[in-house]
Amino acid sequence: RSLSRAQRVALVEPQAPDISLRRQCQLLGISRSSMYYQRKALGAYDLELMRLIDAEHLRTPVYGSRRMSAHLNRQGYAVNRKRVQRLMREMGLQAIYPKPCTSRPGVGHRIYPYLLRGRVIDRPNQVWATDITYIPLARGFMYLVAIMDWHSRRVLAWRVSNTLDTDFCIDALEEALARYGKPEIFNTDQGCQFTSQAFTEVLEAHDVRISMDGKGCYQDNIFVERLWRSVKYECVYLKAFESGAHLRRDLKCYFAWYNTERPHQGLDDATPDE
């Protein structure tokens, strides 16, 4: 039950000799039509709108679909709210504002309390944080997850994926744990990737305390939000990445530079590695 629909579809073996396709779908709780569905590629116009929405969301994260639609209309794009809602949902973007019943957990997912309010963070491996962001390509898009040490601002591990599944987040987490040990606290938002049993089990197996932002609390994970602004304005928006391989190659160079050479005002102009 902790697996997404796409992950369950991937478990089906159409040529399995001992169990029919119908029975496999019944056991996994998916419809047979899921086996034949092929996602329709987004058109060039939608991709252009997504690029504009992404850039504006960095500047004004309080914009929901209504105000984002008005912004695009003022830029000369005749687009209605329903289309903007669909694209923002595809990108994993939500307006930042207080929402009611924010302490109510999602179905089947445990929500952990926010542990960082008022806490002095003064050493590496005290607190790590993570988040996912949308990355536009020349002909499509991907998602980037990064794990950051809050004290040093160092990017410890990262992965890109063409879907918002949980696996690429777990891969990044396991790499960070293998290379740098474990933090005392790990902070995330309440996205389904981070509240999933598969993700939280990795942290619990390492005796890491789990902290989660309140819904709509933009400031709760502010250092990762600032990282996304830096990544996009200093790398992504300067180039039209042709493919996932091109994106990975340049992000590898960017994060190496970010950790070893880029000075940070919040660190008195030192680099994360320093």
Kindly state whether residue 112 falls inside one of the protein's structural domains: no
**pLDDT interval class at 109 (50, 70, 90):** low
Q: What is the pLDDT of residue 160?
A: 94
Kindly state whether residue 107 falls inside one of the protein's structural domains: no
Residue 55 pLDDT > 60, yes or no? yes
- Phi (first) and psi of residue 68, to 5 degrees: -65, -40
Q: Are residues 132 and 22 in the same domain?
A: no
Tell me if residue 219 falls in helix, strand or coil. Answer: helix
Residue 265 pLDDT > 60, yes or no? yes
Q: How far apart are CA 274 and CA 269, in angstroms?
A: 10
Report how many domains make up the chain: 3
229-238: average pLDDT = 91
Residue 106 pLDDT > 50, yes or no? no
94-115: average pLDDT = 61
Q: Are residues 163 and 210 in the same domain?
A: yes
**pLDDT interval class at 2 (50, 70, 90):** low
Q: Are residues 63 and 178 in the same domain?
A: no
For 143-156, the pLDDT digits (tens) are: 999 999 999 999 99
Residues constituting the chain: 274
pTM, two decimals, is 0.73
Q: How far apart are CA 102 and CA 211, in angstroms?
A: 15
Kindly state whether residue 219 falls inside one of the protein's structural domains: yes
Q: What is the pLDDT of residue 259?
A: 96
Q: Element (H or E) spanning 240, and its range?
A: none
For 155-207, the pLDDT digits (tens) are: 999 999 988 888 899 999 999 999 999 999 999 988 888 988 889 999 999 99
Higher pLDDT, 26 or 104: 26
Q: Are residues 194 and 169 in the same domain?
A: yes
Higher pLDDT, 119 or 108: 119
40-62: average pLDDT = 86
Q: What is the pLDDT of residue 85?
A: 92
- Phi (first) and psi of residue 107, to 5 degrees: -60, 120
Q: Are residues 77 and 139 in the same domain?
A: no
For 239-259, the pLDDT digits (tens) are: 888 888 999 999 999 999 999
- With a pLDDT cut of 90, the percent of the chain lying above it is 46
Kindly state whether residue 104 falls inside one of the protein's structural domains: no
Kindly state whether residue 99 falls inside one of the protein's structural domains: no
155 in Cβ contact with 223 (< 8 Å)? no
Kindly state whether residue 117 falls inside one of the protein's structural domains: no
What average pLDDT does the structure give for the chain? 84
Q: 74 is in which domain, residue-wise?
A: 46-91
**pLDDT interval class at 87 (50, 70, 90):** very high
Q: Are residues 234 and 161 in the same domain?
A: yes
Identity at 159, one-letter amino acid code: R
**pLDDT interval class at 33 (50, 70, 90):** low
Q: Which residue do the tokens 């709509």 mark? A: 216
Q: What is the pLDDT of residue 148?
A: 96
Kindly state whether residue 145 falls inside one of the protein's structural domains: yes
Q: Are residues 245 and 160 in the same domain?
A: yes
Q: What is the pLDDT of residue 44?
A: 85
Q: How far apart are CA 49 and CA 78, in angstroms?
A: 10
Q: Are residues 149 and 26 in the same domain?
A: no
Residue 125 pLDDT > 60, yes or no? yes
Kindly state whether residue 98 falls inside one of the protein's structural domains: no
63-78: average pLDDT = 92
